[in-house]
């Protein structure tokens, strides 16, 4: 039976990397003797965790093997953003509506940019995409605050 790994965790991110490059390759890259050690790092019930230097090495390997981003870097940056983000409105339905609006606008702007080489259209798409990502991060922050008992 596969263990559940919560989204936006280092355990889930490590599993994503290992699914692409393999547990044995992860172990070799991190300089550990067996893939079992790396599997422990991905186990939410184990107290041992991946070191930052190993996460960096695995990010590079992930991209070298066709990955389109650095998964640990992205996770770390997102978690820091969420932790520092104000989420004054803990009404998840309201935040969902805002996120739907912003992502809809972002998708429309991205479609427009796909058929037009105008710099203003591209700039607008970037702005709309940033606003959509911000609304999603605020939603994540609200979920975190809610889990910590800060309901309104």
pTM as predicted: 0.81
Note whether 42 and 5 are within 8 A (CB). yes
Task: Please give the DSSP secondary-structure letter assigned to residue 48.
Answer: -
Residues 43 and 97 in one domain: no
Residues 73 and 89 in one domain: no
Per the domain annotation, does 110 fall within a domain?
yes
Note whether 129 and 110 are within 8 A (CB). yes
Of 77, 106, 128, the domain-final residue: 77
CA dihedral 115, 118, 121, 126 (to 10 degrees): 100
Residues spanned by the domain of 19: 10-77
In this structure, the chain runs to a length of 152
pLDDT in tens, 49-98: 999 999 999 999 999 999 999 999 999 999 999 988 876 667 899 999 99
Of 29, 57, 77, the domain-final residue: 77
pLDDT of res. 152: 46
Of 77, 106, 123, the domain-final residue: 77
Q: Find where tokens 């989420």 sit.
A: 87
């Amino acid at each position: 039976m596969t263990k559940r790994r919560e989204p936006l965790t280092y355990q889930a991110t490590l599993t994503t990397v290992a699914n692409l490059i393999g547990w044995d390759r992860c172990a070799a890259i991190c300089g550990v003797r067996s893939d079992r050690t790396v599997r422990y790092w991905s186990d939410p019930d184990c107290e041992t965790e991946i070191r930052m230097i190993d996460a960096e090495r695995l990010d590079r390997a992930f991209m070298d093997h066709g990955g389109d981003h650095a998964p640990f870097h992205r996770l770390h940056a997102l978690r820091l953003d969420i932790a520092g983000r104000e989420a004054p409105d803990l009404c998840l339905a309201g935040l969902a509506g805002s996120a739907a609006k912003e992502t809809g606008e972002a998708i429309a702007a991205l479609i427009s940019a796909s058929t037009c080489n105008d710099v203003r259209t591209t700039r607008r798409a970037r702005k709309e995409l940033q606003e959509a990502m911000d609304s999603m991060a605020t939603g994540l922050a609200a979920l975190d605050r809610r889990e910590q008992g800060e309901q309104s």
